[in-house]
Amino acid sequence: MQFRALWRTTTFRLTVLYGLLFALGTLALLGMVYVQSAVFLTRRVDGILKTEAAGLARSPRPGLRQRVKEELLLNGDRTNIFALFAPDGTWIAGNLGAMPSGLRVDGAPLEIPSTPSFPASARIIARRLPSGEVLVVGRDVSQLQEMRAIVGSALILSGVSILLVGLACGTALGIGPLKRLQSLQAAARDIARGDLTRRMPAGRRGDELDMLATTINHMMDEVERLMSEVKGATETIAHDLLTPLSRAAIQLRRLQQSPSADPEELAHVTTGLNELLDRFHAILRIAELDARQRRAGFARVDLAQVIAPIEDLYQPLAEAGGVRLLTDRGPPALVEADPKLLFEAVCNLVDNAIKFAGGGSTVRVRLGPDPAAPRIIVQDDGPGIAADKRAAVLQRFYRADRHRPIPGSGLGLSVVAAIVRLHGFELTLEDADPGLRAVIDCRAHSA
C-alpha cells in the first residue's frame, strides 16, 4: 500500500492531525512544568547564595579567611563554594582556584561548569567587601541540571512517541477504510468493464461506506434488471417480431404474384400485421409508463370500486374458456392511485389467469382481508408457474410456455409491472398450490 494513497484517506489525516495536536499539548504542558520548576529552584539557590554571602560579608575582616575555611568544613567543600580573592583577583582562601571569567562582582549569579578544584557544575555569586577583596559563594547545582535534562528528554521522548503513536494509529485506522475503498473501486471497475453481476462488498456494520455500497448495489440490481430486459427484448424482437414480419412479407409476395387476391389470405396477413402493431403499442405503452413522472390521474380511490367492473367485462371471456370467474369485492380499501391504470393492471392479470389457467379452473379476484394493508389478489387453480420462472415472466415478452398456441403480445405482465412500479406498489407472484396467485400490494412504498 502506498503512503500517498494512505495520506489521502480522511481517517489517516485526521488521526495524524489529532496526534500532532496532542503532542503539541503535551509538549506545552511539560514545557511549562520544566520552566516553572527550573526557575523556582534556581531562584531558591540564588536566594541562599545571597544570604550566605551577606552573612559572610558582615564578618569582621581579620577573621574572614578563617571563616571561609570553617564554612567549608561545616558545609562540605564538595557541595559548597566559599572563596576569598584579593582586589587584584589573587586567590587568598577557599575551594575555587581562580575567579571565573564572566563573573561580575556584585552582579547576577553565574553558572559555571566543573573545575579541577570543584568537580561539579555550580552557581556562584561574587560580593566586594569593604576592604576591596572579593568574596565568592557558590553551590553545587548538578542536581538541578540533571532534573532539567530529565525533563528535557522526557519532553522530546514523549513528543516523538506521541507523534509515532499518532502515525501508527492513523495508518492502522486509515488502512481499513482504504482497503475497503480499494475493494469498492475494484468492484466498480469490474462493473464498468461490463460485469453487471458484480456487487459492491457491503459489511454488516452499516457505516457510511456500507450505506453507499448498499445504495450502489440496489442501483446495480435495477441496472441489471433493465439490461437483461433490453437484452431479452432484443432477442425476442428477433424471434417474436421478425417471424410474423417475414411471414407477412412472404404472404404479400405470394399475393403479389397470384392473379387474384384471395380475401381470406389478405385477412390473414392483416391479422398478423395488426397483432404486430398491438405488440408495438404495448412496448411503447410500457416505455411511456416507465418514463412517466406525472401523477396527474392520482386520487384516493376505493379498490373495491376499481375491481367492480371486472366481472361484467370478463365473465363472457371466462365462460367461453370454461373458466369460473368469481369476484369478491370485500370492504372498502382506500389507496392513492390512478384508478384507470390500476384497473388496466387488474384486467391484464385476470386476462392472463383466464388464458393460462385453462378450462375447468376457477379464477378469483378479491381484495386482501386487511384494509390497513390493501391488496388486490388474482388467483387461479390452474397449472401455475414454476418457482424459478416467476421472476422471468415479469420481464418483457417472456412467455412461460412458448410452444402453447396462446394469443397475446407476451407483454401483459410487463404492463402490469410497469403500472405497479409507477404507483410504488409491489407485484408478487406466489404459488397458490395449485395455481398462481398474483398480488398487487398497494401499501405506499417508495413512489
Partner 1 sequence: MARVLVIEDDVETAREIVACLVAGGFRTKQCLDGEQGLKLALTDRFDAITLDRMLPGSDGLQIIKAMRAGGVATPVLLLSALGDVDDRVEGLRVGGDDYLVKPFAPSELVMRVQVLLRRHDPAPKTDLLLRVGDLELDLVTREARRNGRSIELLPMEFRLLEFMMRHSGQLLSRRIIFERVWEYYFDPGTNLIDVHIGKLRKKIDEPGAPSLIKTERGVGYVLNAV
261 counts as binding partner 1 under rule CB under 8 A: no
Shortest spacing between CB 229 and partner 1, in angstroms: 20
Q: Shortest CA distance to 53 belongs to which of 16, 9, 103?
A: 103
Stretch of 86-94, 260-268, 326-334, 428-436 lying at the interface with partner 1 (CB under 8 A): 260-268
Residues 35-64 vs partner 1: string with x where CB under 8 A?
Answer: ------------------------------
- 385, 433 Cβ separation under 8 angstroms: no
Q: How open is the CA angle 47-50-52, to the nearest 5 degrees?
A: 110
Q: How many residues bind partner 1 (CB under 8 A)?
A: 42
Among 292, 324, 366, 390, binds partner 1 (CB under 8 A): 292
Shortest spacing between CB 283 and partner 1, in angstroms: 11
How is residue 115 written as a grid cell? 573545575
Residues 344-363 vs partner 1: string with x where CB under 8 A?
Answer: x--xx--x---x--------
Residue with cell 544570604: 51
Count other C-beta atoms under 10 Å from residue 272's C-beta: 16
For partner 1, the closer of residues 219 and 313 by Cβ is: 313
290 counts as binding partner 1 under rule CB under 8 A: no
Among 39, 320, 373, 391, binds partner 1 (CB under 8 A): 320
What are residue 441's phi and psi, to 5 degrees? -85, 110
Calculate helix-pair angle for 310-320, 339-357, nearest 10 degrees. Answer: 20
Calculate helix-pair angle for 142-192, 10-57, nearest 10 degrees. Answer: 170
282 counts as binding partner 1 under rule CB under 8 A: yes
Helix H or strand E encompassing 41: helix 10-57
312 counts as binding partner 1 under rule CB under 8 A: yes
Stretch of 20-28, 153-161, 217-225, 407-415 lying at the interface with partner 1 (CB under 8 A): 407-415
Shortest spacing between CB 202 and partner 1, in angstroms: 38
Q: How far is CA 143 from CA 41, 99, 158, in A?
A: 10, 23, 22
23 counts as binding partner 1 under rule CB under 8 A: no
Binders of partner 1 in range 174-203 (CB under 8 A): none
For partner 1, the closer of residues 264 and 433 by Cβ is: 264
231 counts as binding partner 1 under rule CB under 8 A: no
How is residue 279 written as a grid cell? 405488440
Among 284, 299, 308, 386, binds partner 1 (CB under 8 A): 284
Q: Is 396 exposed, middle or buried (0-12, 13-18, 19+ CB in 10 A)?
A: buried
Q: Shortest CA distance to 397 belongs to which of 285, 232, 273, 226?
A: 232
How is residue 401 written as a grid cell? 410456455
Strands 362-367 and 324-328: parallel
Among 288, 328, 370, 431, binds partner 1 (CB under 8 A): 288
The dihedral sign for the CA sequence 400, 406, 407, 413? negative
Stretch of 72-80, 187-195, 299-307, 335-343 lying at the interface with partner 1 (CB under 8 A): 335-343
Which residues bind to partner 1, rule: CB under 8 A? Answer: 264, 267-274, 277-278, 280-282, 284-285, 288, 292, 294, 296-297, 312-314, 316-317, 319-320, 338, 340-341, 343-344, 347-348, 351, 355, 407-409, 412, 415
